[in-house]
Chains A and B, each alone.
Chain A
Amino acid sequence: MKRIYVNEKWCLGCHLCEYNCAFSQSGAMDMATALKGIQIRPNIRVEEGGGICYAVSCRHCDDPLCVKGCIGGALSVKDGVITIDRDKCIHCYTCVVMCPYGAVMPSEDGAVQKCELCVKTKKGTPACVAGCPNGAIVFEERC
């Protein structure tokens, strides 16, 4: 299946992926209205330091420890995409303990949030990939 891959050599550290992610989650029509004056909580996060930067988001592992560990059955795999049922999540954060990438995180209301490859918000290329100005984040099928 297609997954998001990151090539840190090409990352500019511009954080546009974070804004595009937050915008995609908001469901709003334009980015300015959606994000103005709020602290964004994107599912993809740029790590930077010492001249290095790159974005981290869910790897959609073949053998996902977050799903295996979820005590409430709130995380599941749907067509390869690791999906959170926010209504079932009881905020125990076992998935946070399980994820090797730190890519599952508590959201503002307590339920966990994570990258779902934009399948719930828009079809096709995930927003972070579509908006990456330097091709550092790609959406590809690799073995």
Chain B
Amino acid sequence: MKYVIIGNGPAAIGAVEGIRKTDAAGEITLLSKEPHHTYSRPLISYLLLGKTDEEKMKYRPDGFYKENGVSFMPGVGAVSLDTENKTVKTEQGGVKYDRLLIAAGSRPFIPPMKGFETVEKRFSFMTLDDAKSLRDALTPDSRVLIIGAGLIGLKCAEGIAGLCKSITVVDLADRILSSILDRDAAAIVEAHLREHGISFHLSDSVEEFEGGTARLKSGEEIPFDVLVTAVGVKANISLASDAGGECGRGIKVNEKMETSLADVYAAGDCAEGTDSVTGQSRILALMPNAYIQGECAGRNMAGGDAVCDSAMAQNAIGFFGLHMVTAGAYEGDVYESRGENEYKKLFYKDDRLMGYIIIGDIRRAGIYTAMIRDKTPLSGIDFEMICENPSLMPFGRKRRAEMLGGVKA
């Protein structure tokens, strides 16, 4: 069996590990557009922060490709698919496959902005090379303007806070981290970031750039030296869509991670599957999902019968020591508790937990995540008890015997 994997992130690595669970002999070729050993992209902000280094950022040890019998092709990107002849075309030629995984990830989306090309120093913040070029451009006198108050923009802000003079963040949304936090939670985190010297212009956007000045819709003018755009990302779907594969915003996959093309799978940030909490078809561009999808795809590519049916939003992130965790969908009734820099909201409806937002004391939050994932009926547990404090006590003796005592369900 000839396996080809396009990509070198967590979905691709998951696929290698998934394939090797059952097939020790099949040939695996891994095409990586970036010329690097597999590394963890979310760690680029920690690299600038000095909390990690390029060695420690490696997502798997140096011997990974060799030990797993992978022909690793760094710096070789896929150009197109010939599904009829089962070949991936690259700049260097073609690679034949029996089973193919597209784990091509996403790329920064930069909306058209007037005068953007007049900005001398402008960066995205997605890749290791992005992070290193940004670092090289910064001086202690740099005034940095970041467009986008999402996860990428704000992690970038934290990463470079000690390397520049000032950071201003502009976002069209009326609150920061609008994809994962509600208004109240966002206000807590925004106040914390402001305390660390970051300025925000929310519900605003850039009307026009003129060299080192950004004129906002609100009329305000912001002088800056370095620009980072972190508005959002676009899934890399063209390999599949050009070959006639069904795509929405991402490459459509079923629970086995199969695309509509025969023997072609997709996983990670380029794949669009079903959110198990809401039932909606969407891209869940998050690292745990990427690995889990990739591993599921790998098992199935090797002839297995794995199903990935528990994809959902789940995030753990911190800024300047303030941690937050979120999961699921924010729908239904709400349990809420608040303290100083402590915030917890649990969302529940139809006898199950739908989602949560927790800031501050994030301990044991995975118990809540599991309840969402397992669709645990709330009527079968002491829900009041678990709202206050996540523990295994509210599940009862029988369930605990399964969880801790090795008793089969």
Contact = CB atoms under 8 A, between A and B. Distances in A.
Interface of A: 3, 5-8, 47, 49-50, 52, 54-56, 59, 65-66, 68-69, 71-73, 87-88, 90-102, 104-106, 140, 142
Nearest to A98: B366
15 contacts: A6-B405, A7-B405, A47-B391, A47-B393, A54-B400, A55-B404, A91-B318, A93-B318, A97-B325, A98-B369, A100-B366, A100-B373, A101-B367, A101-B392, A102-B366
B14 A68 contact: yes
B52 A72 contact: yes
Nearest to B288: A69
Contacts of A142: 406
A104 B325 CA distance: 14
A3 to B, nearest CB: 7
Nearest to B59: A73
Given A54-B400, A96-B362, A97-B369, A102 B323 contact: no
B316 A94 contact: yes
A72 B364 CA distance: 20
B404 A71 contact: no
B25 interface: no
Contact of A96 (B287, B365, B393, B401): B365
Residues of A contacting B: mostly: mixed
A91 B155 CA distance: 13
Interface of B: 10, 14, 40, 42-43, 46, 51-52, 56-60, 287-288, 291-292, 295, 314-318, 323, 325, 327, 362-367, 369-370, 373, 390-393, 397, 400-401, 403-406
A106 B323 CA distance: 11
B386 to A, nearest CB: 11
B50 to A, nearest CB: 11
Given A73-B59, A93-B316, A142-B406, 6 more contacts: A72-B43, A90-B51, A91-B318, A100-B367, A101-B367, A105-B364
A69 B404 contact: no
